[in-house]
Structure 1
Amino acid sequence: MGTFEKILITRLRFIGDIVLTTPVIRAVRKKFPNSYIAYLADKNAITLLENNPYLDELIPLDFSWTLKEQLNFIKTLRTKKFDLVIDLFGNPRSAILSFLSGAKTRIGGEFGWRKYLYTHPIPRSEERKNAIKFHLDYLKPIGITFSEPLSYEDMKTEIFLSHNEKSWATEYLKSKGIDLNKKTVGIHPGATWPAKMWFKENFAELANRIALKLNANVIITHSENETELAIEVFNLTSRKNIFVLDALNLRQLASVLSLVDLYISNDCGPMHISVAVGTKTIGIFGPGEEDIWFPYPNSEGHKALRVDVECHPCHLDFCNKEGENYMKCMKLLTVDMVFNEVVKLLKRG
């Protein structure tokens, strides 16, 4: 297959999933250095791709648009005259948008009726793949392949922050009374779904140990919807050297996380943001599959923690067990287990 003048990459939704596509962006740019490359995604999550040197344009999609606004968007999309669309999401909306873009070459997953909207549907594979390899395999039809096993450079996720953004984060943390000369550890007790949330009491106890035993700052991050939870965690702590941040936008959060020494998060978007800005990250997993959704090497200071239980993986948003088995995967992951990993990773410098 030859070259393409204008390329559209799209993963419409979910913060972490979009971050996990950044190796695709880099690989496409390397293959087509002179092409115009755009990215289409949710208007909020796509901000994480600002300043990405491999992209020429970001195309935000507002899921609250009226039908008329959506039709106008499609008309505008068609005027951009893309030659190639790579749809890394494959839901009905993204498949239809890929088809209606007018691109002659369209790559997407072989999912039900949607496969007919692509010129190169990618068949389902029995091979167990992490999320990054899953995305990279979509590039085979355009001649982009990788040696096995994938290297760290092939798999590395990236968020590009400006000097001004990092300076803002430094001043912001100072304004909260945080001494940046001390080790600083971030914790994120929230998640999209309750089944993915380690208990707030555990996060509070972990914060206490980090602050008191390691003489480190602990910052609690949260979205607007998680503010109440963050305050509840804070109120369960000793409050000494422990700070609740404001509900930051995604780029502000990324900027702050780039300054911390270690971040401990449930399996959710901020976990992926932390890794992509180069911060050591501990991912806490319950119902999710860490071999798929935490494709980050321990050699770079990243660690997924999960205790095996008979019902894993359940893929449930809400735990359906009762009594002693309710949230068993999270109950068995103790504060001691997580704190021991914190100590190990911080000692690595």
Structure 2
Amino acid sequence: MKRVELDGRKVLVIAYGHLADTMASIPALRSLRAAYPSASIHVLALESAAPILGPCPYIDELITWRDFQHKGQRVARIEKAGVLAALAWKLKQSRYDATLVFHRSNGAMRKLAGWIGTPIRAGVSNGGDGYTHAAAPGPDVESSREENRRVLAALGIDEDGGALELWTKPEDAEWATAFVGSGTGPLVGIHPGSDWSCQQWLPKRFAEVGSTLQATAGARIVITGSAAETDLEAEIVQGLARDPLGACGQTTFGQFVEVIRRLDVLVCVNSAAAAVATAVGTPAVVLLGLEDARYTGVGSSRTQTLIQPKVASQGGGWCEFGRWGVLSGCNSPMCRGLGGLAAVAPAIVSAEVMKMLERSAQAPSQTALADGGTPAHEAGTPKRASNQVPIG
């Protein structure tokens, strides 16, 4: 397809989504910049994406907004219409030449692109979205990165297939080095949190894995997460044989990235932590419930092992409250494990971590620890994982 000429023009990219979705947009933004080196590229993203896209060298301006606050409530449609109208009015003032919509799954952003009304509008669509350059959806489930690749293709641009990237500051690296210290034994991270409690594993099972690794490998345990996940951290600490390094609520995003970079292995659920581990090349054991891994691309890196119950994805049908796919998250403690992770035994997870530690000891990483301020690259190009451990 002949490339649409946008060099020297103003381009708006709508990248709606939380941390993992936002990280998936970086290869597409890098490819967009390579195709249009003189274009003025602006990105509209959620406020939570600022630590990821703020330092991104491929864009000229980041415009952030607060996500819808009343999802699933009676006033949700009214709120959505008002927020979209306000955003459209503001963005129309910039007189963009083109709008690209990443992550086709969100109809509100497709509608926003139409209201902005740029001469060129590109996105993945089955039709009816008013795109001038529409890309047909894939024949099967695709990750956000794959969908973004289709958006670029609609403009005649090839995504470069390169690494994920994240940018940190030198002081982030210094903080992380001081935090983890210089103790003996492998450094194993546990990141128990997720936006959805049904995607979480029970804290006592994380604790059992941590205690096993402390006893058998002399591991030092680091627990990471946001301030909202300190209760999870406290429950895990109670079950550990020795006190861990607790980082929940203690780090900026840049410091979090640098802590993950220093781990020998990370154990986590389907969350942004898995994407960060991919970006910095840290081996990870990722626990996945009934969701389809292809939506996020989790487990698709050669540095990751995916552990998942051997059952068909239910697409969120296990949520008896009807919140899945409607809200942005749910943190009801009573729902932990309902998304399939209750079938995952701690012994299986511990065994996979030990395998990773043994491989690391036999073949030390060839990737030197990057200095703060440099992008953290993915270890290997994206591909479907062959290192999947089905349960049941």
| TM-score, length of structure 2 as denominator length | 0.75
Size of the alignment, in residue pairs?
328
Correspondence 1:168 to 2:175:
yes
Q: CA deviation at 1:60?
A: 0.8
* Structure 1 equivalent of residue 247 of structure 2: 245
Moved more, 65-74 or 160-169: 65-74
SS state of the match for residue 187, structure 1?
Answer: strand
Name the CA shift for 1:95/1:282 in 2 (closer, same or farther; >3 Å).
Answer: same
* Structure 1 equivalent of residue 98 of structure 2: 84
> Counterpart of 2:121 in structure 1: which amino acid?
R
SS state of the match for residue 288, structure 1?
Answer: coil
> Counterpart of 1:163 in structure 2: which amino acid?
P
Task: Confirm or deny: 8 A CA contact 1:6 1:83 kept in the other structure.
Answer: yes
Task: Confirm or deny: 8 A CA contact 1:283 1:294 kept in the other structure.
Answer: no
> Counterpart of 2:247 in structure 1: which amino acid?
L
Ranges in structure 1 where 5+ consecutive residues have no aligned partner = 147-152, 321-325
* Structure 1 equivalent of residue 325 of structure 2: none
Cα distance in 1 for residues equivalent to 2:157 and 2:229: 40
Q: In the alignment, which of 118, 125, 138 is matched to residue 151 of structure 2?
A: 138
Task: Confirm or deny: 8 A CA contact 1:15 1:269 kept in the other structure.
Answer: yes
Correspondence 1:306 to 2:321:
no
| Structure with the larger helix share | 1
Correspondence 1:98 to 2:113:
yes
1:270-302 deviations in whole A, cap 9, x for unaligned? 221222233222211011122442355553x22
SS state of the match for residue 44, structure 2?
Answer: strand
Cα distance in 1 for residues equivalent to 2:213 and 2:10: 50
Name the CA shift for 1:286/1:296 in 2 (closer, same or farther; >3 Å).
Answer: closer
Cα distance in 1 for residues equivalent to 2:86 and 2:191: 39
Matches within 5 A, 1:176-255: 178-179=181-182, 182-238=185-241, 240-247=242-249, 248-255=251-258
Cα distance in 2 for residues equivalent to 1:203 and 1:197: 10
Q: CA deviation at 1:71?
A: 5.7
Name the CA shift for 1:200/1:167 in 2 (closer, same or farther; >3 Å).
Answer: same
Name the CA shift for 1:135/1:296 in 2 (closer, same or farther; >3 Å).
Answer: farther
Matches within 5 A, 1:25-64: 25-63=29-67
> Counterpart of 1:79 in structure 2: which amino acid?
Q
> Counterpart of 1:43 in structure 2: which amino acid?
E
Cα distance in 1 for residues equivalent to 2:235 and 2:143: 34
> Counterpart of 2:166 in structure 1: which amino acid?
I
Q: CA deviation at 1:328?
A: 8.2
Ranges in structure 2 where 5+ consecutive residues have no aligned partner = 70-78, 321-336, 361-392
> Counterpart of 2:340 in structure 1: which amino acid?
C
Q: CA deviation at 1:52?
A: 1.6
1:283-342 deviations in whole A, cap 9, x for unaligned? 11011122442355553x222111212xx201227556xxxxx84832332222212221
* Structure 2 equivalent of residue 156 of structure 1: 163
* Structure 1 equivalent of residue 352 of structure 2: 341
> Counterpart of 1:45 in structure 2: which amino acid?
A
Task: Confirm or deny: 8 A CA contact 1:211 1:242 kept in the other structure.
Answer: no
1:96-129 deviations in whole A, cap 9, x for unaligned? 332333421111232675x13x222332332343
SS state of the match for residue 354, structure 2?
Answer: helix
Identity of aligned residues (%): 22
Q: CA deviation at 1:246?
A: 3.2
1:54-80 deviations in whole A, cap 9, x for unaligned? 122211112369998876654442233
Cα distance in 1 for residues equivalent to 2:314 and 2:139: 19
SS state of the match for residue 258, structure 1?
Answer: helix
Q: CA deviation at 1:168?
A: 2.5
Q: CA deviation at 1:87?
A: 0.7
Cα distance in 2 for residues equivalent to 1:59 and 1:344: 44
RMSD over aligned Cα, in angstroms?
2.7
Task: Confirm or deny: 8 A CA contact 1:186 1:262 kept in the other structure.
Answer: yes
* Structure 2 equivalent of residue 332 of structure 1: 343
Q: CA deviation at 1:258?
A: 2.2
Task: Confirm or deny: 8 A CA contact 2:152 2:158 kept in the other structure.
Answer: yes
